[in-house]
Amino acid sequence: MGVSISEHWSVRDVPDLLGKTALVTGANTGLGFEIARIFAQHGARVILACRNEEKALKAAIALRDLAPNGVVEVQLLDLASLASIEACSNRVLASESRLDILVNNAGLMAIDESRTVDGFEMQFGVNHLGAFALTARLMPLLLATPGSRVVAMSSMGHYGGHMHFDDLMFERHTYHRWPPYFQSKLANLLFTAELQHRLGPNAPTKALAAHPGGSRTELGAEGSGVSNFLMRYLAPLGTQPAAQGALPAVRASVDPTAKGGDYYGPRYMVIGRAVKQVPSKRARNMKDAAQLWDISEQLTQLHFPTSL
């Protein structure tokens, strides 16, 4: 019996993306750079939405060399600022006639305690609320593009996540760097589940999610904790290349067989080919998903288009 494409999907299965437009957050390095590279090498117009302009422009130059058939542009975006998200979204809505793929890739992991410009705990603010706000503002363009997809980059760390609805910003609990991260990655999956639920089966847009397993990136190296030290020096020894870790998100973005709500990750959790997986029971709790959605709308003061 032959092995199905579902089990042995690879970059060779990425379809022609000529005429498609993709926006990837945090695309100047790591997973985001590799996702953008694959899109561009298959003919897509790719928007690198990044906080650091200098690094983003260097990444764009590198991608244009690697993908001469693609078109690569840069947009400044700081997910720790709702004003920056609004400004970036307005520029994209004004300049683009379509948006086929939105990959909410940018994120922070296990950082020292800090707050966003708007006062949110930094990991929840960037990893969840920033992605929520960007998706809300770009949703009209996504809905106007048949077959479009929103892909959330979660983590296998979501299995350790709990939604602290009584203290989402860790203002009353003692701050430790990992619980807020796990919570934010669980929030990514709850957001995806609720977004797909609200879109329904017949909408022009689908919501999907992915996780990269253990991949060699800069994520987790920031910070002064012991775990940050270990991430800097030991994690590279047991992880897969970022190019491999990018494939679950790429598959969620382009696989024609993927359905709304699907979740992809490495076959062996930490490493391996991109396959469909089942998120944790907590990530499938639709009551929590609805509650998180309502709170997110209140905190960002944004409401998704009524056509949802």
User: Which residues does the annotation mark as catalytic?
Assistant: 181
User: Residue type at 165?
Assistant: F
DSSP, residue by residue, 124-136: HIIIIIIHHHHHH
Query: What token pair was written down for 167?
Result: 């203290």
What per-residue string of b and e applies to 26-35 under the rule 16 or more CB within 10 Å gives b? bbbbbbbbbb
The Cα 10–Cα 273 span in angstroms is 7
**CB-CB contact of 18 with 44 (8 Å):** yes
- Residue 179: strand, helix, or coil: helix
Residues near 206 by Cβ (< 8 Å), separated by ≥ 6?
A: 148, 149, 150, 196, 199, 258, 259, 260, 261
